[in-house]
């Protein structure tokens, strides 16, 4: 089994979709720990409800010293011996050194059809650009922001009356389909891109 650590910062809805899928028959991955950068992350309780160990590495004491924060993350992960990491709403920028250590073993989900709209405010940016379709992307994490090899995408149509909030809600539904599907394939050794239609 591939041991998967899931990193969160908030409520962890994508984390829940990953944990629930890994609990299904025939999955080659198993969640070994959920790590949050704040004890207030609502997803911690949701992980514990599912019997998954949790750990908190608060970023605040490490202000200005990302390397020390990441050393603390690695120390916290060590007892759980993860084979890979899934970022699921983890809102901290990781250094190149950390990403190199986990190269080819760290996935992220981003709320746009990469390479469009890297970074924040993706739904508003898609609306401002007049896009007809929007969506989400699962990719391998590399040193460049939102720029690793694409492993899967899901599209949603942009509706005439969409707001950033309504568009975000529809994209999130697709995130909950796409991320588990990509992870299931990834831990089984399949890195070919998966394209889902809404």
pLDDT in tens, 26-54: 999 999 999 999 999 999 999 999 999 99
Mean pLDDT of the chain: 96
Q: Is 59 a known active-site residue? A: no
Between CA 123 and CA 129, with CA 125 as vertex, the angle to 5 degrees is 120
- Compute the average pLDDT of residues 79-90: 97
For the entire predicted model, the pTM comes to 0.96
Interhelix angle 13-22/164-187, nearest 10 degrees: 30
pLDDT score recorded for residue 144: 82
What DSSP element (H or E) covers 87? Answer: strand 84-87
35's CB contacts (< 8 A; 6+ apart) are: 5, 6, 7, 8, 54, 55, 56, 57, 73, 76, 77
Res. 63: pLDDT tops 80: yes
Render pLDDT for 93-147 as a digit per residue (tens, 0 to 9): 899 999 999 999 999 999 999 999 999 999 999 999 999 999 999 999 998 888 8
Q: Which two tokens stand for residue 121?
A: 């405010």
Res. 173: pLDDT tops 90: yes
3-state secondary structure of 152: strand
3-state secondary structure of 196: strand
Q: Which one is catalytic: 27, 59, 110, 176?
A: 110
Render pLDDT for 5-25 as a digit per residue (tens, 0 to 9): 999 999 999 999 999 999 999
Residue 23's φ and ψ, nearest 5 degrees, are: -80, -10
Residue pair 65/44 in contact (Cβ under 8 Å)? The answer is no
Domains of the chain: 2-189 (3.40.50.170)
């Amino acid at each position: 089994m591939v041991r998967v650590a899931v990193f969160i910062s908030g409520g962890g809805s994508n984390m829940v979709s990953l944990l629930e899928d890994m609990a299904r028959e025939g999955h080659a991955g198993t969640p070994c720990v959920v790590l949050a950068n704040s004890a207030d992350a609502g997803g911690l309780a949701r992980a514990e409800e599912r019997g998954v160990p949790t750990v908190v590495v608060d970023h605040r004491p490490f202000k200005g010293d990302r390397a020390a924060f990441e050393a603390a993350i690695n120390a916290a992960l060590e007892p759980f011996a993860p084979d890979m990491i899934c970022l699921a709403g983890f809102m901290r920028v990781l250094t190149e050194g950390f990403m190199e250590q986990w190269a080819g073993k760290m996935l992220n989900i981003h709320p746009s059809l990469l390479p469009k709209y890297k970074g924040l405010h993706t739904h508003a940016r898609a609306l401002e650009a007049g896009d007809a379709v929007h969506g989400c992307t699962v990719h391998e994490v590399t040193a460049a922001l939102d720029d690793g090899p694409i492993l899967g995408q899901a599209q949603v149509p942009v509706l005439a009356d969409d707001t950033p909030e309504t568009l975000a809600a529809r994209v999130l539904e697709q995130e909950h389909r796409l991320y588990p599907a990509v992870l299931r394939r990834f831990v089984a050794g399949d890195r070919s891109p998966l394209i889902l239609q809404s």
